[in-house]
Chains A and B, each alone.
Chain A
Amino acid sequence: KAGVTQTPRYLIKTRGQQVTLSCSPISGHRSVSWYQQTPGQGLQFLFEYFSETQRNKGNFPGRFSGRQFSNSRSEMNVSTLELGDSALYLCASSLDTSGQSYNEQFFGPGTRLTVL
């Protein structure tokens, strides 16, 4: 079974630009979450999508947005990039079967974004 895939793996942008990152979850997984990882702040939750709806949101500005498609694939967008947005962006998927109390999250390899 293929794991979570993220594209692109590396990205270099300049301040003020916008960027779109893509995540393909494990087949059959319905929940997709996004995290930002930086050396100073560690892993921080951005948002979660389930059945094309944002179900949970972290404490990030509105420049960070996302969406999920009917095949569960997800994209996140960052507009008006700032230097501080340089980070590893990780996507995680889970089966999220109703009635199951614990849903393991499987992480992709991440997209390394550098903002110059």
Chain B
Amino acid sequence: QKEVEQDPGPLSVPEGAIVSLNCTYSNSAFQYFMWYRQYSRKGPELLMYTYSSGNKEDGRFTAQVDKSSKYISLFIRDSQPSDSATYLCAKETSGSRLTFGEGTQLTVNP
């Protein structure tokens, strides 16, 4: 079993839709969870990180961690074509080492 599981999609939605991206993880030893966004031919860029359990909001983006069910979620409100990218969930594994999900490819259609 992979330490972080993520549905690779692809996911296609109309502009303005609410997008829900999800991951599950299997090791609770570390506390930081992240969402990265990766555009084609670019490196991943950090969208948000959360510590332990709970919600964190930043503009149209909300990250949620449910430690009891080992679930990580990212919600995108009012999705835009510019949100089209691959979204990667990640968790801290040890120190600077991150373990990533496979990534979900999202397309927002105008």
Residue of B at shortest CB range from A43?
B100
| A18–B36 alpha-carbon span in the complex (Å) | 31
Chain A interface extent, by class: 20 to 34
Of the candidates A4, A103, A109, which one forms a contact with B96 in the assembled complex, judged by CB atoms under 8 Å apart? A103
* A43-B88, A45-B93, A102-B51 known; A109+B43 contact, CB < 8 A: yes
Are A109 and B41 closer than 8 Å at their CB atoms?
yes
Tell me the interface secondary structure of chain B in the complex.
strand
B41 to chain A, nearest CB (A): 7
B71 to chain A, nearest CB (A): 19
| A103–B90 alpha-carbon span in the complex (Å) | 14
B residues contacting A by CB (< 8 A) are 32, 36, 41-46, 49, 51, 88, 90, 93-103
A residues contacting B by CB (< 8 A) are 4, 31, 33, 35, 42-45, 48, 50, 55-56, 58, 90, 92, 94, 96, 101-110
